């Protein structure tokens, strides 16, 4: 019976410390900046793959993979990617800058969370 009381005391201390160290805010910030980094990363990946794979074949593969997730909107997204690939030389530098900007925020929040935890 005492071991159950110890477990509950432990969980209570964990929750109090988590709240005191703003664990929810840190977790939300990590998720937010990670999501803002994923889109530029995938954009750069599409640009890199367009140098290795035929552009139409790549766009067809992307549309086929987006269809189960986005349904009829996959065609519109693929069309925007086609326009994006037509301007890849200009856009790739902008996307790289955006990726580095948001990734630096994501890593600084992760560093802050790790400093708080340990």
Query: Which pLDDT belongs to residue 34?
Result: 85
Distance between CA atoms of residues 47 and 44, nearest Å: 5
**Which pTM does this prediction carry?**
0.67
Cα–Cα distance list, 84 to 7, 70, 92 (Å):
55, 19, 9
Distance between CA atoms of residues 3 and 116, nearest Å: 28
Query: Which pLDDT belongs to residue 22?
Result: 82
- Backbone dihedral angles phi then psi of residue 53, each to the nearest 5 degrees: -120, 150
Query: Which pLDDT belongs to residue 1?
Result: 67
Distance between CA atoms of residues 51 and 60, nearest Å: 15
Render each residue's pLDDT in the chain as its tens digit; 118 residues: 678 888 899 999 988 888 888 888 888 888 888 888 888 888 889 988 998 999 999 999 999 999 999 998 999 999 988 998 888 888 888 888 888 888 888 888 888 888 877 7
């Amino acid at each position: 019976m005492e071991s159950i009381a110890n477990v509950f005391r432990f969980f209570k201390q964990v929750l109090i410390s988590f709240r005191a160290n703003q664990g929810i805010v840190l977790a939300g910030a990590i998720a937010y900046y990670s999501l803002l980094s994923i889109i530029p990363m995938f954009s750069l990946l599409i640009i890199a793959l367009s140098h290795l794979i035929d552009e139409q074949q790549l766009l067809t593969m992307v549309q086929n993979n987006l269809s189960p997730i986005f349904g009829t909107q996959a065609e519109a997204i693929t069309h925007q990617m086609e326009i994006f690939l037509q301007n890849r030389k200009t856009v790739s530098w902008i996307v790289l800058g955006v990726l580095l900007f948001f990734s630096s925020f994501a890593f600084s929040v992760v560093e802050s969370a790790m400093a708080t935890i340990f």
